[in-house]
Structure 1
Amino acid sequence: MANKNVELMRGEPEIAVRKLAIPIMISMLLTASYNIVDGIWVAGLGQAAIAGIGFVTPIFMILNGVSVGLGNGATSSISRAVGAKNHDGASKSAAHSLFIFLIASIILTLFLITIQEPLLRAYGASGQALVEGLKYGTPLFAGLFAFMFGNGGSGILRGEGDMKRAMYAMIVSVVLNFILDPVFIYVLGLGSAGASLATIVSSLGSAMVIMYWILIKKDTYVDVNLKEFKFDSKIAKDILKVGIPSSLDMLMMSIAMSFYLMFISAIGGEYGIAAFTSGQRLYLFGIMPLTAVGSAVATVSGSSFGAKNWEFLKRTHTYGTKFAMMMSLAITVLLVIFAPQLALIFAYTPDTAPLIPEITNFLRIASFGLLLVGIGMPSNFFYQGIGRGTTSLAWTIIRELILTVSFTYLFGMVFNWGLTGIWIGLATGRIIASIFNYIYARYTIAKLKPVMTQGSA
């Protein structure tokens, strides 16, 4: 059994990476707009509500990372089965992925509902901010299954190369969130709770659409029959060997971010934090197209690896790297040239106008890290595609927690170069890590040649 998405994955890798990356880019841009819309409506709730939601946000980011990470595990397992022309294996991987999403949702929901108050207090939440944080967090954690199945279900679709429908599901979520945010927050007067309820209902809409395609309409490549489901620990381990390390990526990034914030606060206080936070939003926006290319590389690499087609595996990584490099060059040029204009997005009032020079400085220095992140990002996703999630996680740790944290501390604190030193450290750590990551990926591909060619002989 095959469809046009599966045939695309099995075809010329350059065409597959290019065609699969575009819908993912659109999905990520929609995700960015999702966050912007949330921010606009939440801003009207007052300082205590904003602070309360802010205390919950790091937890939500990690939870979202878990759902995306488990989805990546599904993508890797299914795409490798697709490449091996193992339809039954792909279908079983999809069924086991749904089972894993369910179990993870139950465990995390019970755990977070139980510890949310002491956790928020540990973060420093108190008074009305604590009350607002609990109002926001309780519905969010209770409805965790919605974005677990939404993000995880998208991973199943990506595994069979169906990026377009994953994008359509995201459109459903964004449109619902745009409509429901003001209704729940202000019309129904639910405030902070309304903000999280809008997020849950929007994610639920996306999840229901995906589950309809997979379980009811059954027009996907994978054929999931829950009545015939039999748990197989080997299949579950195959999904989790990528899913768990991928889920931990966001945790590693959060830990690294805490170090950056400590250094920046010590040097530049609130001014430095505000400049970094604003510039980082633009930087992360710039990374989205590179992440989209990486996601396409993961899917096509998995298919090539499953098919034991070493030549296609090598070409997938080579083209993905070139594609990402071209995009990173264009993005870097835009961020550097238009840095003052872009800074105005987050500093358009008299109170925030003094931030413009430092946001501009951040963009014109830190953005150079994107130039070579273009070769590191596809390599990270390549490891996930071939089922080596721990290798991908290791490179995230090397890039952010070891090299970038070290260089920001060295240039900013030891050399006393101030905020400029921090920005240089961000670029330097990521550039060096990306170079070594690329070299290791090429080494990995070379080592796979005898194994894959013998297996296909």
Structure 2
Amino acid sequence: MNQLANDLGTQKISKLLIKQAVPATIGILVMSLNMIVDTIFVGQWIGVLAIAAVTVVLPIAFLISSIGMGIGIGGSSIISRALGANDSKKAFLTFGNQISLTVILAILFVLLGSIYSAPILNLFGAKGAILPIAAEYYNVIIYGVPFLAFAMMGNPTIRAEGKPKYAMYAMMVPAVLNVLMDIVFIKVFDWGMWGAGLATSISYASCGLYILYFFLSSKSELQIIPKNFKLDIPILKKIGKLGGVTVVRQGAVSVLMIVLNYSLYTYGGEISIAVYGIINRVMMFALSPVLGVTQGFLPVAGFNIGAHKNERVKETIKKSIYFGSILGTLIFIVIVIFKEEIIWIFTNDATLLAQTPDAMLIAFLMTPIVTMQLIGSAYFQAAGKALPALFLTLLKQGIFLIPLAYILPIYYGVNGVWWSFPIADTLATLITILVLKREVHKNLK
């Protein structure tokens, strides 16, 4: 077993969380910055409808690529526990099956996405004046999605073998490239949404290729062994059982986007979709530290669960929630103080500047407590318990937010959409606390 992985079972928990979470946070921050810059550039250089188009298209790309994310998280849970049990053969077999499954499914779904592009775009909210701009963007980035899926598979797998810095680098490479190419393709060449899509697609490819390079190099402890590409049914079932949580979660996010875009378009028109586009980008960037803590939690918890070190698992849960809650509180304070200045970065459109700040403040109200939701579902994934992980994952976005985002606007208009976020956060957090406390009391004595 490599020393970095072995450290997961011996080093001080707070030190491990920092070692794992900081690179994950930086990687997520940079990846989120990538999407923010995309939105800033299209908003400033193309227009308000371009922000709405990006808001509609990116969830489709991430739905397809979430297959890779699910395979990566499901497989990395198996790999973490296999390394904790000193079973390298199982770790290598799981890794080989991850690669085969990701490549096959990503290509299949991209083909379907290309054939049925028009109805898919319409379903996700590309209506009215948004449709032609969204189609131009979608028809380019769809070809970069298989690379994105491979990258999303590889990233948690790299962290599972105890090398979070390389996972961070993999997310930084496409972000830097995308910013540079956005400037050249949109501003210099004046290629509009096609240029924005080309820059994004190339950045996806660079991320996937970097991760492939890592696994082929001596830096990786996980070996690419051709015989392990042969699909192994028991391993596939385990990957599917655990990774299915992530895929279903992303599926719930996609259904949520359909409902949100429907409610926003119905009660506020194209401008409200653009408002949400800005809020969504800020939320992805601002919550990166909290998500980084969650990503750092997974390999530490998974390894120690596999090694049957229950006290270390409990300490990992407590300290992850503590660190994440502090970060969430600081994030909310920044939003309260600088909400107007943040919107100015994206646009100088008077309507957006008037509507977005208050809407964003409402959506961020429960940020201080979201870590409890994330760590709760992440624990069950790390422990290989798919059903409770799935239930907790779906609580906010599936069980609460989707119906709230549909029902509340009927009575309160567009404001009903914004208030659905803090209400869903509160309800999901309360239930997660109850479920996690019961699990700790029952199984981590």
TM-score when normalising by structure 2: 0.87
For the structure 1 residues 224 and 269, does the alpha-carbon distance in structure 2 shift closer, same or farther, using more than 3 Å as the test?
A: closer
Q: Unpaired segments of 5 or more residues in structure 1?
A: 451-457
Give the equivalent residue in structure 2 for 1:455.
Answer: none
Give the equivalent residue in structure 2 for 1:307.
Answer: 307
Deviating more after overlay: 191-200 vs 379-388:
191-200
Instruction: Give the partner amino acid of 2:391.
Output: A
C-alpha displacement of 1:98? 0.8
Deviations 1:367-418 (A, max 9, x none): 221121121111121122112344333223322333345556676655x5x6
C-alpha displacement of 1:160? 1.2
C-alpha displacement of 1:48? 7.9
C-alpha displacement of 1:128? 9.4
Give the equivalent residue in structure 1 for 2:316.
Answer: 316
Structure 1 residues 263-274: aligned runs within 5 Å: 263=263, 273-274=273-274
Give the equivalent residue in structure 2 for 1:158.
Answer: 159
Identity value in percent: 27
Give the match's secondary structure for 2:308: coil
For the structure 1 residues 329 and 37, does the alpha-carbon distance in structure 2 shift closer, same or farther, using more than 3 Å as the test?
A: closer
Contact 1:10 1:303 in 2 (8 A): no
Q: Unpaired segments of 5 or more residues in structure 2?
A: none
Larger RCO (alpha carbons 8 Å, 6+ apart): 2
Contact 1:339 1:363 in 2 (8 A): yes
Give the match's secondary structure for 1:153: helix
Give the equivalent residue in structure 2 for 1:380.
Answer: 377
- The structure that has the greater radius of gyration is 1
C-alpha displacement of 1:15? 2.1
Contact 1:83 1:303 in 2 (8 A): yes
In 2, the alpha carbon distance for the partners of 1:51 and 1:353 equals: 15
For the structure 1 residues 64 and 10, does the alpha-carbon distance in structure 2 shift closer, same or farther, using more than 3 Å as the test?
A: farther
For the structure 1 residues 208 and 161, does the alpha-carbon distance in structure 2 shift closer, same or farther, using more than 3 Å as the test?
A: same
Give the equivalent residue in structure 1 for 2:38.
Answer: 38
C-alpha displacement of 1:349? 4.4
Give the match's secondary structure for 2:242: helix
Structure 1 residues 428-447: aligned runs within 5 Å: 428-447=423-442
Count of paired positions: 444
In 1, the alpha carbon distance for the partners of 2:295 and 2:256 equals: 23
Give the equivalent residue in structure 2 for 1:326.
Answer: 326
Instruction: Give the partner amino acid of 2:442.
Output: K
In 1, the alpha carbon distance for the partners of 2:129 and 2:404 equals: 39
C-alpha displacement of 1:354? 2.6
Contact 1:304 1:310 in 2 (8 A): yes
Structure 1 residues 227-238: aligned runs within 5 Å: 227=227, 229-238=229-238
TM-score when normalising by structure 1: 0.85
Give the equivalent residue in structure 1 for 2:94.
Answer: 93
Structure 1 residues 413-424: aligned runs within 5 Å: 413-414=410-411, 416=412, 422-424=417-419
Give the equivalent residue in structure 2 for 1:426.
Answer: 421
In 2, the alpha carbon distance for the partners of 1:260 and 1:419 equals: 10
Instruction: Give the partner amino acid of 1:178.
Output: V
Which of 368, 373, 383 aligns to 1:371? It is 368
Structure 1 residues 13-412: aligned runs within 5 Å: 13-43=13-43, 44=45, 55-120=56-121, 133-184=134-185, 191-215=192-216, 217-227=217-227, 229-263=229-263, 273-346=273-346, 348-355=348-355, 359-405=356-402
In 2, the alpha carbon distance for the partners of 1:87 and 1:226 equals: 16
Instruction: Give the partner amino acid of 1:447.
Output: K
Give the equivalent residue in structure 2 for 1:448.
Answer: 443
Instruction: Give the partner amino acid of 1:429.
Output: A
Cα RMSD after superposing both structures: 3.2
For the structure 1 residues 228 and 449, does the alpha-carbon distance in structure 2 shift closer, same or farther, using more than 3 Å as the test?
A: closer
Instruction: Give the partner amino acid of 1:402.
Output: I
Give the match's secondary structure for 1:222: coil
Deviations 1:205-234 (A, max 9, x none): 22222222212x233222221256443211
